[in-house]
Amino acid sequence: MSESMYHPTTPEQAQRRKELAPGVHDAFQSFSKAVFADGALPEKTKQLIAVAVAHVTQCPYCINGHTKLAIRKGNTPEEIMEAIWVAAEMRAGGAFAHSTLALDAIEAAQPHVMT
C-alpha cells in the first residue's frame, strides 16, 4: 500500500493552525466566505472556477474540496471536466505564449552573419 505525500488534514491540525495565528485565520475564513457568496456570479459558477484554478495551482486539497463543492452546488461532472480542460489549455497556452522569450534569446545568442 503506497502512502500519499498529501495526507488528509486533521481537525487537530486545523485547530493548531488557528491557534498559531487566530486573527489571520479568522480573516481568511471571512474572506473565503465573502469570495464564494452569491454575487454577480452565483456560487455554482465560482466553485467551477475554483476547480479550474485548483488544477492550475495543482493543489490536491483544493481540487478535492472544490470539486465536491461544485457537485453540491449543482455542477455536472461534464461541466467540471470542461472547466479542467479550460485550465489545461490556459496553462499550456502560457508556455506557448512565453516561447517568444526563448525565440528572442535564441536570436540574441546567435552570431549575426554579415551579408
21-47: average pLDDT: 98
Is residue 26 packed enough to be buried (19+ CB in 10 Å), middle (13-18) or exposed (0-12)?
A: exposed
C-alpha cell read off for 90: 490556459
Give the tens place of pLDDT for each residue, 38-86: 999 999 999 999 999 999 999 999 999 999 999 999 999 999 999 999 9
| Residue spans of alpha helices (H) in 10-76 | 11-20, 22-36, 43-57, 60-72
pTM of the predicted protein model: 0.82
**Taking Cα atoms as reference points, which of 39, 61, 40 lies closest to residue 50?**
61
Task: Note whether 51 and 73 are within 8 A (CB).
Answer: no
Domain coordinates in residue numbering, the chain: 11-39, 41-109
Looking at domain 41-109, its CATH class is: mainly alpha
What is the H or E stretch that residue 81 is in? helix 77-109
Give the tens place of pLDDT for each residue, 2-11: 577 888 889 9
